[in-house]
Structure 1
Amino acid sequence: MNQLLKLSYEQISDQQMIDLRSQKEFQRGHLQGALNLTPRNLLKYGKHFLSKDQEIVLIVAKENFQELPALVEEAEAAGIENISAYLLAEDIPESNLEKIQTIPAADFMTLEGNYRLLDLRHPDEITRPAPEKHLVNIPIEELPENYSQLDLNLNVYTLCGSGGRATAAASYLKKQGYQPIVIEGGMGAVEAFNKGL
């Protein structure tokens, strides 16, 4: 692990922070401004969200830190070449953790009022249509170019197949000044609600 520098919390400044932990861990508490991209999503969508001109710091749970060298190698092969350091999630003071707001699918389905439902799935993969009320479809890889079409004054509920991309998008939108809310369980949970399960 020679090429990656281990940072302490105090060394964090204006780097691009990528939190590699699962959506649930991220939702429970994360560093302000961090983007939640699991290793798989980092490789698939990272280049759409990350600047080539700014250092990237990976936030990882202590138990997964051994996986970093292989991930950095894969990221470089995918064109993400500016990963310089890592920070253990356990080293972030609890008082500095933020949470991402979530809502159970059943509660979302009974919402009244004005809001935006942001479906992050690609049109080609949509086999289970999202609820149509206040719906906007922006595939996650197109979010950085298109998020400004969302109204800053409305709650934005994020939705995908199971919640991973919805959490990633929520972390990005929060950094842009929005108040995103992740629909727990994604379309699977919405569909289960519709079927009365």
Structure 2
Amino acid sequence: MQIDIIETTGLGDRSYLVSDSGVGVVVDPQRDIDRVLALAEKRAVRISLVVETHLHNDYLTGGLELARTVGADYVVPAGDTVAYDRVPAADGDVLEAGPMRLRVLHTPGHTHHHVSYVLTDAGAAEQAVFTGGSMLYGSTGRTDLVGPEHTDELTHAQYHSVRRLADELPDGTPVFPSHGFGSFCAATPTSGDSSTVGEQVAVNPALTRDEQSFVDELIAGLTAIPAWYGRMGPGNAAGPAPVDLSMPRLVDPEELAGRLAAGEWVIDLRTRTAFAAGHLPGALNFELALANFVTYVGWLIPWGAPITLIGENEEQVADARRELVRIGIDRLAGAAVGSPEQLATDQELASHPVSDFSGLATAMAADSQLTVVDARRDDERAGGGVQGSLHIPIHELADRIDEVPDGDVWVYCGSGYRASIAASLLARTGRRPVLVNGGYGDPDTGAAAVGLHDDSATR
């Protein structure tokens, strides 16, 4: 029996292909199912079961299309109402796939109808448990995605679900969650890339705290919910359309200039330093190279707004398109390929300075009225910030941009990624940004290292 992990780092999630004797089971597949099909071909297995632990809130599933493509049974928790035929998975059910068995455990918490699947061999020996958004590595799935009115109830349920897993499974059972590798579906930060039930007994808050302490700590630690999450559950219940990974229509420099002039969302995929050195005026920088790309495109851009991608080559555009279809951004207005110099018409390229926290300290010493924007989330700011900085989380900046004074604006975040997005948004409104490119908490070059961290700067 073999378990292959299919990483989706852009969303912090994992899917799984379980293989034995030429038969395959797929757990929580992402929408770009070509990755799963290629792996199944490599393993020489026929996929007979596609199973979901829950209706996902952070991506559109590929499960329905995958099951239809390969002729597999599609398994979805019994309590969920969906618009397509499926095999309902209820507590105690046992699903068969060749010599493999999947025993269904109802583990509510992340959602009301969430289930986990205990993988056993033909002799009923536990080989693994697929926990979706229930037991994560050192954490649990967040409990506020169904609606705030359900959060307390679901948090109590999450506590008991994780304890049920620990009580019913041997300590040596490997745990395979779908969330928790950077996903905003995790209630609190996770740790590690692998674990067992026994290891979780020693470290998981649901197994080391009493019930009320767990509930209070989890709810207190919940962070902002990405804007697109509200569309994923209903989309998964309705059944996502077949995925389209084709290349967007290429637009020429004149058409691109018109879109920029109209204030449309034109996304430059290059690194933040390359963007800062020279870009088309009005373009926004969402760096594709890092895992945060799809999170912040989905969070910041109004749903349904026309998006045009600028890539250095067609492969970069194709990679961005793949990321975007995972959250249902299917229709792109087009794409342009080439350097800013190649894509410019008669406009001069724009640029802005790049510095670090040492440079910010020097600038603040020279100008006590310097405008500094902190683009981090509220939970990050709660641990302190740069004294006197204006705290506007990146996902609120578009609506609060009038709070930022005109002129020079230094902007920082936890790494420089969100700060670069913020800098491009500010530049589009005529302000003159300076990108602080570096980690706020870096022990050698971060804010504290240069004397800028202030525990009292929490607003």
TM tier relative to shorter chain: 0.7 to 0.9
Structure-1 residue corresponding to 2:394: 140
By how many angstroms is 1:47 displaced?
Answer: 3.4
Structure-1 residue corresponding to 2:354: 102
Give CA-to-partner distance per residue, 1:92-146, whole Å, 9 cap, x none. Answer: 24973211222342232132231221111112235863221x2111111111111
TM-score, length of structure 2 as denominator length = 0.38
CA contact (8 A) 2:412 2:435 kept: yes
Structure-2 residue corresponding to 1:178: 431
Contiguous gaps of at least 5 residues in structure 2:
1-244, 453-459
Q: State how many pairs are aligned.
A: 191
Give CA-to-partner distance per residue, 1:72-98, whole Å, 9 cap, x none. Answer: 243133243441321123232497321
CA contact (8 A) 2:280 2:344 kept: no
RMSD: 2.6
Greater per-residue helix proportion: 1
Alpha-carbon distance between aligned partners in 2 of 1:96 and 1:2, rounded to the nearest angstrom = 32
SS of aligned partner of 1:30: coil
Structure-2 residue corresponding to 1:47: 298
By how many angstroms is 1:186 displaced?
Answer: 4.3
By how many angstroms is 1:33 displaced?
Answer: 0.3
Identity, % of aligned positions: 25
By how many angstroms is 1:36 displaced?
Answer: 0.3
Q: Larger relative CO (CA 8 A, sep 6+): 1 or 2?
A: 1
Highest CA radius of gyration, 1 or 2? 2
Structure-2 residue corresponding to 1:123: 378
Structure-2 residue corresponding to 1:160: 413
Alpha-carbon distance between aligned partners in 2 of 1:138 and 1:169, rounded to the nearest angstrom = 10
By how many angstroms is 1:3 displaced?
Answer: 4.3
By how many angstroms is 1:70 displaced?
Answer: 4.4
TM-score, length of structure 1 as denominator length = 0.82
1:5 aligns with 2:257: no
How has the CA–CA distance of structure 1 residues 52 and 127 changed in structure 2, closer, same or farther, with 3 Å as cutoff?
A: closer
CA contact (8 A) 1:158 1:181 kept: yes
Contiguous gaps of at least 5 residues in structure 1:
none
**One-letter amino acid of the structure 2 residue matched with residue 123 of structure 1:** D
